[in-house]
Amino acid sequence: MVDESGTSSEAPARFSLSEIAGLSVAELRARFVDVDEEPPRGLLQALSADSRAGVRALAARIEKRREAARAEEKRLTVLTKFERALWDDGVELVGGVDEVGMAPLAGPVITAAVILPRGARLRGVNDSKQLTHEEREALEPQIRAMAVAVAIGEATVEEIDRLNIYQAGLLALKRAVMALKPLPQHLLVDARRIDVPMPQQPIIQGDAKSLTIGAASIVAKVFRDRLMSKLDAQYPGYGLAQHKGYPTPVHLEALERLGPCAIHRRTFGPVQRALGIDVGAKQRDLF
């Protein structure tokens, strides 16, 4: 039977113990565990009642996966609180923007701005700092595929040294937002205000509280990590592909041994020390 929406209104047949008994553990795993789908009605009960320990273990794995999926749906409901309020008010184009690379001693600040479609929910999106490299690499193309628009902004090393890191970060954020096509009707920002012509809402720890800002943080992080890996080939010896310009012991040792290269930030203390400059009390505030 098919309802008015064109989908079947008949409930799927329940699985019986006899059907389960006719399948091996490997067959059951391939059919029901190794796929990311909701199990058929009655399957868990049938698996749990099976006499084979291996089959009952599969039931436990499926139930654990279901619990994780329910928890993720709850998390996404919280993570889209700001977006849903705007969508409900008729704002369709909600943008989020975030930056990466404020603290490194080398390389540019990179920002990303993202507009997600109304009702977007993408499992796994979070503050990029809370994700592994592999998780970010897997999510970045999904974000780009789902997004209404994605744009990248940058503040160069020269701009960082000329303006200071805070102002350079604001400039890079503005560039990403203004590069969006279409422009957002409302902007969600991670704890600051940007000189842009649309309403905006600063959110403290926004990359962990907003789906759109979190998505932007992932896109920015993946973009900058790839850029720093390319720059590592251009400026070998510093380990840029590994630490991405951050002040790790390996980077500090290389900086002392090799001296700064063209992409090191001359207004940052460790770089100035490597140049023999006494930063002292006159060192510029970085933030």
pLDDT of residue 204 exceeding 80: yes
Output the pLDDT for position 153. Answer: 98
Q: pTM of the entire structure?
A: 0.79
Confidence at residue 2, expressed as pLDDT on a 0 to 100 scale: 37
**What does DSSP say about strands 109-115 and 94-100: parallel, antiparallel, or unpaired?**
antiparallel
Model confidence at 271: pLDDT above 60: yes
Residue-range domains of the chain with CATH: 17-79 (no CATH), 81-231 (3.30.420.10), 233-282 (no CATH)
Q: Higher model confidence: residue 13 or residue 128?
A: 128
CB 188 within 8 A of CB 201: yes
- Please give the residue that has the higher pLDDT: either 67 or 104: 104
Average pLDDT of the segment spanning 102-131: 96
Closest of 98, 130, 93, 94 to residue 112, by C-alpha: 98
Percent of the chain residues topping a pLDDT of 90: 70
Sign of CA dihedral 275, 259, 269, 108: positive
Q: Phi first, then psi: what are they for 112, rounded to 5°?
A: -135, 140
Mean pLDDT throughout 120-139?
94
Radius of gyration of the chain (CA): 25
232: pLDDT strictly greater than 90: yes
**In the 8-state DSSP scheme, what is residue 228?**
H
What is the model's pLDDT at position 282?
47
* Model confidence band, residue 17 (pLDDT cutoffs 50, 70, 90): low
Q: Residue 260 in contact with residue 271, Cβ under 8 Å?
A: yes
d(CA 176, CA 152) in angstroms, rounded, equals: 5
Residue 155 CA: distances (Å) to CA of 122, 190, 268: 29, 17, 15
d(CA 264, CA 204) in angstroms, rounded, equals: 29
Whose structure tokens read 């500090």? 252
